[in-house]
Amino acid sequence: MIHKLHELPFSFDALEPYIDAKTMEIHYQKHHGGYVTKLNAALEAYPQFQNKSVEELLTDMSMLPETIRTAVRNNGGGHLNHSIFWSILKKNRGSGPEHDLSDAMNRSFGGFEQFKNAFFKTAMGRFGSGWAWLVIDDDERLAVLSTPNQDTPLSEGKRILLGLDVWEHAYYLNYQNRRNDYVDAWWNVVDWQSVAGRYDQLK
């Protein structure tokens, strides 16, 4: 096993009532765990790629043999996307972005509320499975975008500040078909200090 499912940085019930413990348990162990297992399986016959980080694999997928490119894209993407997702989750008790990140949000969107509106529309507009993202774009501005499946903005050269998983597996137990309620509730568990840390590192 080259790639590992790292320990979840919080307990399964830490995000309740916004994200329930059962969803967290299945999401982390079965879904994220499954991506890691399948990524390792794809790389098994290709030792020359086993020492590369998941970020390196996804940044330049053209270097990969075609036989494993789709498997790495889907499962490597799944591994990276979920690792980032867990790292930016924490009950925030109503806090929001501060300092440099807040300034950047004002410059790029006109304010935090405008950002949230744009992000909500993007998350709701993703047909089927995928993600909504806040990234630093090529022009150094913040941007909101969506990717299908487990595609990651890293593969398009974007720097990821935060992502929201809008696959049904992320919310169906508690919210059923109500993705809008899930997205609304999710604002309560964005760890803005963690997002600010990513911004400081990546800007």
Binding residues for Mn ion, per CB under 5 A?
31, 165, 167, 170
Quote the strand ranges of 94-182, DSSP E: 130-136, 142-148, 159-165
State the nearest-atom distance from the C-beta of 78 to Mn ion, in Å: 7
Task: Considering the complex, state which of residue 16 and residue 168 has its C-beta at the smaller distance from Mn ion.
Answer: 168
Task: Considering the complex, state which of residue 28 and residue 187 has its C-beta at the smaller distance from Mn ion.
Answer: 28
Task: Considering the complex, state which of residue 165 and residue 191 has its C-beta at the smaller distance from Mn ion.
Answer: 165
State the nearest-atom distance from the C-beta of 5 to Mn ion, in Å: 13
State the nearest-atom distance from the C-beta of 103 to Mn ion, in Å: 31
State the nearest-atom distance from the C-beta of 194 to Mn ion, in Å: 18
DSSP string for residues in 7-25: PPSS-TTTTTTTS-HHHHH
Our measurement of the distance from residue 195's CA atom to the centroid of its chain's CA atoms, rounded to an integer in Å, reads 12
Task: Give the CB-nearest residue to Mn ion.
Answer: 165
The pair of structure tokens assigned to 48 is 């020359």
The pair of structure tokens assigned to 89 is 């989750």
Q: How far apart are CA 19 and CA 13, in angstroms?
A: 8
Task: Considering the complex, state which of residue 5 and residue 137 has its C-beta at the smaller distance from Mn ion.
Answer: 5
